[in-house]
Amino acid sequence: MQAQARVDEVSMITRALLSVFALLGLAACVTSKGTLEGSRAETVRVDGKLYEVRVAPAETAGEYRLLLVRGTVVVDPDPRLESERNWNVVQPFMERTCKGPFVVLDHQLADKVNLYVRFRCGT
């Protein structure tokens, strides 16, 4: 009788933990992605990873804002590695936007995976 109660207790704990993990997974899926007013999303795959890139003009002429959002789930991301990957993805977009050289004015890595960049065309 006592063994059966213990099995039922373990089963309840297992179900509770599975429910918590399912809710965390669902929350990760419905977390809103960043948006950039006045931009259009362009999805690209680089090295097997999916990214969404948005570029929009800034308030100052010749300046732009760029948002790079990782489109695939990352568990325990390495910020240094993610930053390197992100720069490899965004540089062609900045060159294409400026039709040549650009200068990065500001950048920040959010959530250890998403990159916000403000840049200006020219040198």
Structural domain count, the chain: 2
Q: Can you give the three-state secondary structure of 8-31, one letter per residue? A: HHHHHHHHHHHHHHHHHHHHHHHC
Residues 87 and 115 both lie in one domain: yes
The percentage of the chain sitting over the pLDDT mark of 70, rounded to a whole number, equals 76
Q: Which run of H or E residues covers position 94?
A: helix 79-98
> Quick one: pLDDT at residue 16?
59
Is 73 a member of any domain?
A: yes
pLDDT in tens, 60-112: 999 999 999 998 888 888 888 888 999 999 999 999 999 999 999 999 998 88
Is 26 a member of any domain?
A: yes
Residues 52 and 76 both lie in one domain: yes
